[in-house]
Amino acid sequence: MTPGPKNLITDVAGLRVGNAQDETLKSGATVVVGDAPFTASVHVMGGAPGTRETDLLAPDKSVAAVDALVLSGGSSFGLDACSGVVDGLRKDGRGFAVGPAKIPLVPGAILFDLLNGGEKAWDENPYRALGRAAYDDAATDFDIGTVGAGTGALTAMMKGGLGSASLVLPDGSTVGALVAANPVGAVTTPGDRHFYAAPFEMDNEFGGHGPDPASSLGLSRDSRKVQAMSPRENTTIAIVATDATLSKAECQRIAVAAHDGIGRATVPAHTPMDGDLVFALTTATRPQGDVALIGHAASLVLARAIARAVFAASPSPNDLLPCWSTLNA
């Protein structure tokens, strides 16, 4: 297995990603949209999720496909980013047909970034406009780091961000991940240099420093984030995707397996103060997939995407926490 040509979720053909952010707000939104509606499901393992329209992704629900998925900052305010994406889809004539009506279906999830030093005293919720701008920005090439839903993200010890990674499997199918990493836990080991996800790194994609040679890792509870703000400013939200054909129930199993990637890259993970959530989707443009292998690959690309998010984060005015690049300059 090797990374795809872009090492992004858009190595899954037919997917586009759009980002929009407000540097003063220190927040933003990210959308994944397909050339056609796609089958998707979801699994939540964090204790404090914030979601929109995720119930319809359960395997027993009648909706067969959705038009887009949204990741956003802003806590509950950020759920309105989905409305902006709905506006864009409606303008483009897309949506679930009910007689002459077309209803765009856009599930989404949010992370909490309301206390990160950005200006939050708005008169009108900004997230609908951010969602529409992200939709209008959607393309196969996109930036990672301090962009989109990862703009205001923070890990325990440093800035988080938006990350992505991919793998091409032996049968030619592709698996990709997109993540906004804002966890309670740390993504780097004590000392701020080595990533917990280092054993899974490919092609020096987050610095090539290798695993931490120290033992007894994972015991430290140090957190610059807790010292700077509320311990509830958290959540890792992600999307994993493949072009292999899967049922909605199989997509849910892929989402479950992908959560292992959060646990491999973040210590601790899935806490009561996180809203950890993974969407899984298929564009179904290739033959039936190997669910066990795709689930394993999804966990690997998600772990790598989390580390890439932190590695690519860039400094901004009024930051509460440093970037990995600043700490390791």
**Hunting for tokens 């790598």 — which residue is that?**
304
User: Domain locations in the chain?
Assistant: 2-328
Mean pLDDT lowest among 32-46, 94-108, 220-234, 291-305: 220-234
CA angle, residues 53, 248, 144, in degrees to nearest 5? 65
Q: What is the mean pLDDT of residues 243-250?
A: 97
Answer yes or no: are the C-beta atoms of 310 and 324 closer than 8 Å.
yes
| Spatial distance between the Cα atoms of 8 and 12, rounded to a whole number of angstroms | 8
Name the amino acid, one letter, at 43: H
Element housing 128 (H / E): helix 127-137
pLDDT in tens, 4-51: 999 999 999 999 999 999 999 999 999 999 999 999 999 999 888 899
Element housing 42 (H / E): strand 27-44
pLDDT in tens, 250-304: 999 999 999 999 999 999 999 888 889 999 999 999 999 999 999 999 999 999 9
- pLDDT band, residue 231 (cuts 50/70/90): low
How many residues are present in the chain? 329
- Nearest CA to 291 out of 253, 235, 236 is that of 253
Q: According to the model, what pLDDT value does residue 133 have?
A: 98
| Spatial distance between the Cα atoms of 193 and 215, rounded to a whole number of angstroms | 15
Q: How many CA atoms lie within 13 A of 33 on its CB side?
A: 24
- pLDDT band, residue 229 (cuts 50/70/90): confident
Tell me the fold of 2-328.
L-amino peptidase D-ALA esterase/amidase (3.60.70)
Percent of residues, the chain, with pLDDT higher than 70: 99
**Hunting for tokens 């901004």 — which residue is that?**
316
pLDDT in tens, 134-188: 999 999 999 999 999 999 999 999 999 999 999 999 999 999 999 999 999 999 9
Pairing mode of beta strands 277-288, 235-245: parallel
Q: What is the mean pLDDT of the chain?
A: 95
Answer yes or no: are the C-beta atoms of 27 and 258 closer than 8 Å.
no
